[in-house]
Structure formats: structure tokens, C-alpha cells
Amino acid sequence: MAAPAARGKIVHRSAVRAATPGPTATHRMTLAPCALRVLLATGLWLAPLPASAAAPASAAAPASAASAPAHACTAPVADRHVNQQCALAFARQSDGERAAGHDDAALALLARADRFAPDDLRFAITRAGLVLKARGALTPAGIEAAARAAPDDVGLTMMHAELALVQKNFGQAAEDAGRVLAQRPAALQAYQMRASANLGRNDYEAAAPDVARALQLEPKSPDMLRLRAILRNGDGDHEGALADYRLANRLQPKPDDPFLIGATQFLQHRFADSATTLARHAPAGAQGTYWTLWRYLALARTAGPLQASGSLGPASAPGAALVWPAQVIDFYLGRIDAATLLASARAAEAADDLAQVCEARFYMAEDALLRRRGDALALFEQARKECPRNFHEYEGALAELRAAGVLPAAHAGPAAAVASAPGAAPTASAAAPASAASAAAAAPASPASPASAASAVRRAGAGASLPAVDRASAPGAVASTPAPGAAASAGAPADAAR
């Protein structure tokens, strides 16, 4: 069965979300199937620009508008950093004019900011949003109509791209971003938008050049590092992906980062590290359930499924209405069989169209591997064929098949072009700053963009320092000593026979 072209998540339930400035980019791209999401995203652009708005990596932003001398802001100069500071000063002045109800003055200041820093699309997008708001047209239909009427307005075009991304119209989002890049070929946010759109439609080969170019423009862009990590994990370069996720987390922590890092450690078969990383505070709801499942799998690979079952929590109450993937917990606890799990996945997929059946096959395969049943490899192969390329479960199936020798260990895929591009950020973990403080000082401007880049690809998160790396056991092997937290989490026994 061919993998769907796109779905509401990305291989990083957070990957692309973690990559987008506004929301987050993780592998399971959870884009709201509702255009109202773009209005929330637009609100980020219309919010006042803080005095600490990130400046280019070469220097920190001034503490106030006064930090940019008026005489230095009469016209753009050759120094890009000076121009950026002037643009930020104009934007802060615009915030004040807008707060005072002087919309015309606010719009004029944003136009000046855009003239000084045309590659920073925040100013053009904010101005477009204010114009629409003043007209009472800040709605999906209003954005659509305005973008059609003014196809050369980069601010409106980017808003339209964001709307298309939210609606999962990835082709339109990529086309819009391309039109912006034709006018402004050094606009980082447009590369991020187009790369996210292409990852959203599982076209990694099309995304790779944009990720490479964006990292040439800004080697320490947390969002683009997260997008490159997705490409690297797909190629089997899990070490490079882990380095990217860790560096992105140090530069700009996001709530989904522990999942992205822990899932990548799982792909490396560093199960003890993965379980420790995934023990961080998980989000509520279905997204948090995925954290629970991957942590259980990591613990089970070091301590065995019986010892790890306590980490799953209690089984659901009989007759309770469950939200996917809660049914997988019942399966792992022996409360339902594989046929019932697949039936639940099919029902969920019929309602949400999010490829839950392929997810079920991956989790069944992991269970078969843990219990040394002979159908594990066939189930992993089925999951690999059925899951969208931008799913965590696709990555997991690929990693297990490579570890078993069924597939080559790694290949030079799209990420290779990104890694070898001139100016691309290094892959070694040594490239990370010495401390979170030094990383913050070097962080590039992170536009408060809508759901763009990150929303389209994975799940990201917040992070403290990570535990030391520990190479764990081979597929299916059980360590002689439990992973950290395994004993404490031991609880209700799982039924060994399904």
C-alpha cells in the first residue's frame, strides 16, 4: 500500500512544528485541519516586537530603539547589521504608534523597516496583517482575496503560504514561497516555508536544497537545524540528526525537543538514554501518549516488557472512548489483541486520515521484536511501506530494518547535500555552544512566524542538559540491569502472550 502523500502530522509529530518559529517542527507534523489556525499565527506577527527581539548572530539586538542612532537610519547602508538594528528600531516605534491608535504612522514605520531589512520578512508580514485587520479582512477568505489582488506583495504572499500550509495545501505553500524568493532570494523565512511545505508532502529531495541554502544564510537557525535533522534521520545519519536537535535545543528550546531527541536516541539503539530523555514532562493528550509509548519501548529494550510495563500507566476503563494512540497502551498491557488494535486504528484513520494503521503496524512490530515472535520484520517492512516518510514510525521501522541487516545501514540521501553545502552547520556535537547562555547570545533572529516551517514537519521541545551517551543493547536484547527509572516504573505485568 502506498504511503499517503500528506497527513496532519510529520514524521516528527513535532519536527516541523519544531522548525516553525511560531508553533513548533517535529516529525509528526500536526497541522490543524482548520484555516482558523492561520489567524492565531497571524496574531503572532501583530504582537508587539520585544526589545530583546533576536538580532543576527553577529551581535545582540539593542535594548531599545534609542540604541539605533537616528542619523544612522536615514537610508540603508552596506552594513547589514546596522540596517537590521534600524529596522528593529522602526518596528518598535511602529508598536508604539499602533498602541496609540496611529495606524497610518505605524504602517509607514513598518514600510521603512522592510526597506532597511528586506530579507527579514517579519516587517512585510506584520504590515500586511495590519492592513487586513484595519479593513476587517483578517480572515482566511480575506487573506485569499488580498493575495490574489496583490500577487507581488511579499507580506500577503507569505500569509497566503501560511494559510495554505495550515490547510495542508503544500503545493500552494511551496509555490507562494517560491514567488517570494524570486523577489527576495536571501529571505530565510521563505526558504523555511518552502522546505516545510515540501517535507509536508514527503518530498525530501525538494526540501534539501532549501534547507542547505537557509543554513548558508544562517548556520545557527534553530528551525532549519531541526528540519535538517529530519532529513538526516531519514538518511540513517542519526548521529548528525541528534547533533542538530541538541544544538537547536541549546539555541532555542522548544517543548517537543525531548521527544525529538529521545526518539532519535531510540533510532540509534541508545535505549537507556532515550528512556531518560523521554522521562521529561510530556504534553497532555494524544501527543503525550506517543512520548509514553516510545519511553516504554526504550525501557523494554533494556529491562524487558514486563519490567517496563509500569511506565505505561493503567489500562483504559472498559467501554471508555479512547483517542488514538491510547489503544496501543491497552495492546501492550495485554488488554486487547492485534486484531482489535488494527480495527481501532482503521476507525481512527477513517475519522482523521492520519495513517494510524501504519502506526499500529509499527507498534505491533516492536512488540513482536520484544517477545521474539517471527513476524517482527514483516510488520516493520509493512510499516515502512505504508507510513508517510515524515512519520516517526516510518523512521523507526527504517532503523529497525537497517539494524537487522534487511536494509543498508545508511545511504547518501537528501541530507548529504545539505551537510556538504558550503557554509552548512557542522554535524558533530562539538559544534554546539559551550553553554545555553553562550548559545542564546549567538542565536539568530527567530521570527515570530505563524505555523510555517516547524508546523509542517516535527515535534520539538524544551530541554535541560542531556544525560551522557550510553550505547545500549541490540534489537530484542534485554540488558542485565534496568535502565534508569525502569525499576521505579515497574508495575502491572503485561501479558506475554498476545
pLDDT in tens, 464-474: 222 222 223 33
- Confidence tier at 450 by pLDDT (50, 70, 90): very low
Can you tell me the distance from the alpha carbon of 183 to that of 124, in angstroms, rounded to the nearest whole number? 13
451 against 340, higher pLDDT? 340
Q: To the nearest whole percent, how much of the chain has pLDDT over 70?
A: 68
pLDDT at site 391: 95
What average pLDDT score do residues 419-427 get?
Answer: 50
Q: What share of the chain is helix, strand, coil (3-state, %, to 5)?
A: 60, 0, 40
pLDDT in tens, 112-132: 999 999 999 999 999 999 999
Contact present, 261 and 466 (Cβ < 8 Å): yes
Nearest in space to 209 (alpha carbons), one of 431, 453, 456, 424: 424
Residue 47 vs residues 83, 90, 122, 412, 443: alpha-carbon distances, Å? 22, 15, 11, 42, 21
Residues 6+ apart with CB under 8 A from 467: 273, 276, 277, 484
Task: Choose the weakest-confidence range: 136-150, 185-199, 213-227, 308-322.
Answer: 308-322
pLDDT in tens, 291-311: 999 999 999 999 999 999 999
What average pLDDT score do residues 421-426 get?
Answer: 48
Can you tell me the distance from the alpha carbon of 416 to that of 235, in angstroms, rounded to the nearest whole number? 8
pLDDT at site 411: 64
Instruction: Reduce the DSSP state of residue 296 to 3 states and report it.
Output: helix
Can you tell me the distance from the alpha carbon of 3 to that of 6, in angstroms, rounded to the nearest whole number? 8
413 against 85, higher pLDDT? 85
pLDDT in tens, 225-248: 999 999 999 999 999 999 999 999
36 against 209, higher pLDDT? 209
pLDDT at 277 over 60: yes
Average pLDDT of every residue of the chain: 78
103 against 429, higher pLDDT? 103
What average pLDDT score do residues 245-252 get?
Answer: 98
pLDDT at site 412: 64
Q: What is the DSSP string of 37-86?
A: HHHHHHHHHHSPPPTT----TTSPPPSSGGGS-GGGGSS--S-HHHHHHH
CATH of 1-31+208-498, one of 1.25.40.10, 3.40.50.300, 1.20.200.10, 3.40.50.280: 1.25.40.10
pLDDT in tens, 18-41: 444 443 333 444 333 333 444 444
450 against 164, higher pLDDT? 164
What residue type is assigned to position 407 of the chain?
A: L
Contact present, 253 and 455 (Cβ < 8 Å): no
Task: Choose the weakest-confidence range: 37-51, 261-275, 312-326.
Answer: 37-51
pLDDT at site 224: 97
pLDDT in tens, 334-378: 999 999 999 999 999 999 888 999 999 999 999 999 999 999 999
pLDDT at site 319: 83
pLDDT at site 409: 80
pLDDT at 9 over 90: no
pLDDT at 497 over 50: no
Alpha-carbon dihedral 477, 366, 463, 219, rounded to 10 degrees: 100
pLDDT at site 441: 33
Can you tell me the distance from the alpha carbon of 129 to that of 98, in angstroms, rounded to the nearest whole number? 13
Grid coordinates representing 354 are: 492520519
